[in-house]
Amino acid sequence: MTTATLIDGKRVAQDVQQQTAARVEKLKQAVGVTACLATVLVGEDPASAKYVAAKRRLCEKLGLASVFVKLDETTTTEQLVDKINELGRDANVHGILLQHPVPKQIDERAAFEAIPAQKDVDGVTFHSFGTMFYGLPGYESCTPGGIIRLLDAYDVDIRGKHAVVIGRSAILGKPMAGLLLNRDATVTVCHSRTVDLPELVKQADIVVAAVGKPAFVQGDWIKDGAVVIDAGFNPGPKGNIGDVDFEPASERAGLITPVPGGVGPMTLAVLVEQTSIAAARQAGVEI
Closest to ligand LMY7XDAE by CB, 128 or 143? 143
Per the residue annotation, which of 17, 119, 120, 122 is the catalytic one?
A: 122
Q: Could you tell me the sign of the dihedral formed by the alpha carbons of 93, 49, 243, 196, in that order? A: negative
Options 240, 282, 283, 287; binder of ligand LMY7XDAE; rule CB under 6 A: 240
Torsion region of 241: left, alpha or beta (phi above 0 gives left; psi -120 to 50 gives alpha): beta
Q: Which residue is nearest to ligand LMY7XDAE (CB)?
A: 264
Known binder of ligand: residue 141? no
Q: How remote is the C-alpha of 145 from its chain's centroid?
A: 6
Q: Catalytic residue among 17, 83, 99, 161, which? A: 99
- Indicate which residue of 17, 55, 223, 243 is catalytic: 55
Residues contacting ligand LMY7XDAE: total by CB under 6 A = 19
Nearer CB in complex with ligand LMY7XDAE: 33/215: 215
d(CA 240, CA 204): 25
Strands (E), the chain: 5-6, 36-42, 65-71, 95-98, 162-166, 186-190, 206-209, 227-230, 234-236, 239-241, 255-256
**Nearest of 162, 155, 168, 143 to residue 233 by alpha carbon:** 143
Determine, following the binding rule CB under 6 A, whether residue 151 of this chain makes contact with ligand LMY7XDAE.
no
Piece of 14-22, 161-169, 180-188, 255-263 that binds ligand LMY7XDAE (CB under 6 A): 255-263
Q: In whole angstroms, give the CA distance from residue 219 to residue 97.
A: 35
Binding region for ligand LMY7XDAE (CB under 6 A): 51, 97-100, 122, 142-143, 171, 233, 239-240, 259-261, 264-265, 267-268
Known binding-site residue numbers: 167-169
